[in-house]
Structure 1
Amino acid sequence: MQDVLTKLGLQAQNNGTSTGKNFFGSGDAITSWSPVDGKTIGTVTTTTSEEYEKVVATAAEAFKTWKEVPAPQRGEIVRQYGDILREYKEPLGKLVSYEMGKSYQEGLGEVQEMIDICDFAVGLSRQLYGLTIKSERPAHHMQEQWHPLGIVGIISAFNFPVAVWSWNTALAWVCGDVTIWKASEKTPLTAIACQNLFNKVAEANDLPEGISNIITGNAQVGEWMTKDGRVPLISATGSIRMGKIVGTEVAKRLGKSILELGGNNAIIVTPDADLKMTTIGTVFGAVGTAGQRCTSTRRVIIHDSIYDKVKDALVKAYGQLSIGDPLDEKNHVGPLIDKDAVKAYQYALDKVVEEGGNLIVEGGVLEGPGYESGCYVKPAIAEAKNSFEIVQHETFAPILYLMKYSTFEEAIALQNGVPQGLSSAIMTNNMREAHQFLSASGSDCGIANVNIGTSGAEIGGAFGGEKETGGGRESGSDAWKAYMRRQTNTLNYSPDLPLAQGIKFDI
């Protein structure tokens, strides 16, 4: 791993505060350790309140210059960043895997998402379109146009330590905004690596200091930014509890927020489902990233006529899973992020049994050679009811709940019958069921899939969910509008001053 750290410009001691080209930091040191083997990767100094003020001031100054750069030229900077990510895809993907614990293939996939959003943003830089509107007044021209917001604050979570930052950052940059990134204190080194790579682009293009910035630390550091009126937009990814705090604080100052919070994602399996496709989609959705995706499959709602068949297929598939070092591509499942996550996993298993559930694939914490970190657990399956308290709650771990349905309407009610509303799926070859699922009377989630699982999304579509998932949208489609302010313009090119609505005002 040392060669990876060297390639990415990471030393044993790293400053976790940066205003573009300059790194500094004099706060407390936090240790980044790997859940893969329990070893220390490095230490990072955190941001002090004085240093936070320096970051914001530098970012605000950079915005004055950056917003005046033509959008296609801003897109060129993003293009170059995408190219350098291609060059460093392998070491950055390995660091993501080692620091967070996801499989190496998923680590590479996360960097590929960064590359993809850069490509998307480059094209977008020539398409920040407005509208022209016909005026009711003669010789008047109306239009809508979009302007940069200013500083965009980004609070990211450990499970996607680099991709979600890039979703926000690439769009913010081409829109003319500058960014301040509060990375997860559980995965700080990947953030510093991303900043190191940006600095190569910044130096090659003689960019002003402060377009891309990092602050590091615990929740207090994020709180400074959340309460800061100089930061008009906060994009926060994390738990529902965290999102409610962030959303409340930003709303108090009438700021804007994009909230990407928890999911409690279900797959409906109908009698017309392809069993092989269902098994693959469900297992990957449930155990990929050790169940630590906001889009991870938590519930499977199965028609009673095929319930035993689907259950048996899933139990058999779970018996073939290999759990271990995520950098070894023979393994399917890596570790949880830390021992607190292990405790939450154990609590959920105890709770589902206490509430009357039945464990058909028992879990447990793995011990012995290869599992020294204490963060490896067995993916578990429980038969449960949707009404169970623990089922209504998102547990960030590989626990899958199975339940039956009799009618399609019942299946939809079960699917929608949780507080969260991020991702959903149906497995069916029945055209009517597929279209019903996608209709206004179907899934109430921000993402609804047919014949693919709940986990995984493409850059082209806006990503986000409803209800307690927060309602935010990031990444593709027209998500760029959240990073800009809309302005309506009316231009009068007549010699008169007619008023709207035919109002007469003569003096």
Structure 2
Amino acid sequence: MSQKMSRKLVSDLKLLTKSLSTHCTSIQQSRSASSLAFKNAYINGQWVTAEDGRTFPVRNPANGDLISEVPDMQAKETQTAVNHAADAFKRWKNYTAIERSILLKKWHDIMAKNQEDLAQILTAENGKPLAEARGEIGYGISFVEWFAEEGKRIYGDVIPSAFKSKRLLHLKQPVGVCGIITPWNFPNAMILRKVGAALAAGCTVVVKPAEDTPLSALATCYFAEQVGIPAGVLNVVTCSHQHASEVGRVLCQSPKVSKISFTGSTATGKVLMKQSIDTMKRVSMELGGNAAFIVFNSADVDAAVAGAVASKYRGTGQTCISANRILVQEEVYDEFCEKLAKVVSQFVVGDGQEDGTTQGPLINEKAVDKVDSHVKDAVAKGGKVLIGGERHVKGPTFYSPTVIRDITEDMLVCSEETFGPLAPVIKFKTEEEAVLLANSTRFGLAGYFYSQDIRQIWRVAEDLEVGMVGINEGVISSTSIAFGGIKESGLGREGSKYGIDEYLNIKYACFGGM
């Protein structure tokens, strides 16, 4: 990579973390932000505590500081939320699409005006750099605006009838109460991508946010309340890890809940699907990934390095579509490894609220342990560490951004999702070998490849067994695209014009005697 290109990449990474103002105060110092650090859950338009008064702490992963304590709810409170959502559905489904759209647009607008406060909260509880948090808030609220429009385009069909006496119609109607279970890595966007579609379709929701990051969810409720979204339409039940399974079980087993939408691990997704069988719920599952990032000999290597950095290290590697295995063809292998390590060596690790930080902490020490185990396994089996490869001095939740070459298929990094700042680079010889390696996993969420051979581009794009493909691009998420995977990476799609269909039933109506 040219010196100019290297400087530009580092400059771009630093620009990502610059504040929109000259100085960004911490959540403890920001009056408006701290006012959004709620201490109650939100059920039926009320800010409520757990029935037994129990709470659990929400801590900053960068330093362990206590941000807030929120209600540790259990099955009884969850069923109460479901009951209120079911009552609210009887009214909300009868709002016109335009009435719902107006409320959703107001919700979008007020969150847009308070984007900085929402970003401060997100960084405090999740750890990602403020610039990334701002980007997530913008991305998350864009789904509310998108589905406010899509809700007005829920079209049915008039079907040509074979009988003169009959008229045939397809109607689309909301499924009902939806249980929404979301992860900690995108605590704003994952909620709004689901809830925006559900509410626009006429459904009501009960949200169980991740125990590590409940404050972002509660903040969205605050703004929903401000713009007049009716009580019971949006409910958030908070709980600790200890009670997460029983809260999830209520959502899956209650006959009043018609759908479950979950983002998280494949193992948990399978449990939720099994629990939903008795009530035959509709389910949407956005589950684990093991994305391959392929660099062919014909690729622009500098562009491939930039794409790998964007894909691998966003969110400190804690994204479901992160490049988990980097496959590089032998002619450009050494060049790619050298250039990738050079860029990664210039990352700035630190608290996400510190100016200049490009890599924040992992969500907890358990996550660090997993990254470290993958590194040690790779080294023990012949992998060569080019940069990083150790816990970072910043603290117990930090790990040094790492690049390892000479990776082989028997290493854990090839079969398990690392979910951290580790880029394992594998050498391959032929296109067929690369595609075989990329597809040699039970997951199929996302894949990436770089090539300038148009025939190869078509072949590989069609042959990769994934739901989403980045071609000469490392950042593929957008409001307008259908997000989701195949195989054990899930069911259904979110975002795009297809996302609202996940919350609608098709009813056939036959008019006789015409």
Aligned 8 A contact 2:119 2:134 in 1: yes
Q: Secondary structure at the match of 1:366?
A: coil
The aligned residue for residue 459 of structure 1 is 479
1:378 to 381, 394, 400: 400
Give the distance between the partners of 1:234 and 1:438, measured in 2 at CA.
Answer: 31
Q: Secondary structure at the match of 2:403?
A: strand
Give the distance between the partners of 2:33 and 2:402, measured in 1 at CA.
Answer: 38
Q: Is 1:492 paired with 2:512?
A: yes
Q: Are residues 488 and 8 of structure 1, via their aligned partners in 2, closer, same or farther at CA, if it must alter by over 3 Å?
A: farther
Give the distance between the partners of 2:279 and 2:511, measured in 1 at CA.
Answer: 32
AA aligned opposite 1:18: I
1:190 to 202, 216, 219: 216
Aligned 8 A contact 1:301 1:405 in 2: yes
How much has 1:68 moved relative to structure 2?
A: 0.5
Aligned 8 A contact 2:40 2:47 in 1: no
Q: Secondary structure at the match of 1:125?
A: helix
Aligned pairs for 1:194-233 within 5 A: 194-202=220-228, 207-217=229-239, 218=241, 219=244, 220-233=246-259
Aligned 8 A contact 2:83 2:256 in 1: no
How much has 1:105 moved relative to structure 2?
A: 1.3
How much has 1:488 moved relative to structure 2?
A: 1.2
How much has 1:361 moved relative to structure 2?
A: 2.6
How much has 1:8 moved relative to structure 2?
A: 6.1
Give the distance between the partners of 2:112 and 2:34, measured in 1 at CA.
Answer: 13
Aligned 8 A contact 1:105 1:329 in 2: no
Give the distance between the partners of 2:250 and 2:50, measured in 1 at CA.
Answer: 16
Give the distance between the partners of 2:381 and 2:92, measured in 1 at CA.
Answer: 56
1:24 to 49, 71, 89: 49
The aligned residue for residue 489 of structure 2 is 469
Give the distance between the partners of 2:168 and 2:29, measured in 1 at CA.
Answer: 58
Q: Is 1:409 paired with 2:435?
A: no
AA aligned opposite 1:308: D
How much has 1:360 moved relative to structure 2?
A: 2.8
Q: Secondary structure at the match of 2:294?
A: strand
Give the distance between the partners of 1:262 and 1:329, measured in 2 at CA.
Answer: 32
Aligned 8 A contact 1:8 1:92 in 2: no
AA aligned opposite 2:230: P
Give the distance between the partners of 2:230 and 2:306, measured in 1 at CA.
Answer: 48
Q: Secondary structure at the match of 2:358?
A: coil
Q: Deviation digits for residues 331-353 of structure 1, max 9, x if unmatched?
A: 21110001111111111112223
How much has 1:388 moved relative to structure 2?
A: 3.2
How much has 1:271 moved relative to structure 2?
A: 1.4
* The 10-residue stretch of structure 1 (356-365 or 134-143) with the greater mean CA deviation from structure 2: 356-365
Give the distance between the partners of 2:70 and 2:49, measured in 1 at CA.
Answer: 10
AA aligned opposite 2:434: A
The aligned residue for residue 106 of structure 1 is 132
Q: Are residues 392 and 70 of structure 1, via their aligned partners in 2, closer, same or farther at CA, if it must alter by over 3 Å?
A: same
Q: Is 1:78 paired with 2:100?
A: no
The normalised TM-score by structure 2 is 0.90
Give the distance between the partners of 2:290 and 2:31, measured in 1 at CA.
Answer: 35
AA aligned opposite 1:465: G
How much has 1:485 moved relative to structure 2?
A: 0.9
Q: Is 1:443 paired with 2:464?
A: yes
2:154 to 124, 128, 132: 128
Q: Secondary structure at the match of 1:305?
A: helix
Unpaired runs of at least 5, structure 1: 495-507
How much has 1:456 moved relative to structure 2?
A: 4.3
Q: Secondary structure at the match of 2:473?
A: coil
Aligned 8 A contact 1:266 1:298 in 2: yes
Q: Deviation digits for residues 28-78 of structure 1, max 9, x if unmatched?
A: 211011012221111111223332222111111110100001111111111
User: Please, what is the CA RMSD of the aligned residues?
Assistant: 1.7
Give the distance between the partners of 1:389 and 1:229, measured in 2 at CA.
Answer: 41
Q: Are residues 353 and 449 of structure 1, via their aligned partners in 2, closer, same or farther at CA, if it must alter by over 3 Å?
A: same
Aligned pairs for 1:267-278 within 5 A: 267-278=293-304
* The 10-residue stretch of structure 1 (397-406 or 18-27) with the greater mean CA deviation from structure 2: 18-27
Q: Are residues 8 and 75 of structure 1, via their aligned partners in 2, closer, same or farther at CA, if it must alter by over 3 Å?
A: farther
Aligned 8 A contact 1:19 1:214 in 2: no
The aligned residue for residue 311 of structure 1 is 337
AA aligned opposite 1:299: R
Q: Percent sequence identity over matched residues?
A: 27
Q: Deviation digits for residues 103-143 of structure 1, max 9, x if unmatched?
A: 11111111111221122112112100112221222232222
Aligned 8 A contact 1:9 1:196 in 2: no
Give the distance between the partners of 1:392 and 1:340, measured in 2 at CA.
Answer: 19
Q: Secondary structure at the match of 1:85?
A: helix
Q: Secondary structure at the match of 2:491?
A: coil
Q: Secondary structure at the match of 2:408?
A: coil
Q: Secondary structure at the match of 1:232?
A: strand
Unpaired runs of at least 5, structure 2: 1-26
Q: Secondary structure at the match of 1:395?
A: coil
Give the distance between the partners of 1:253 and 1:278, measured in 2 at CA.
Answer: 47
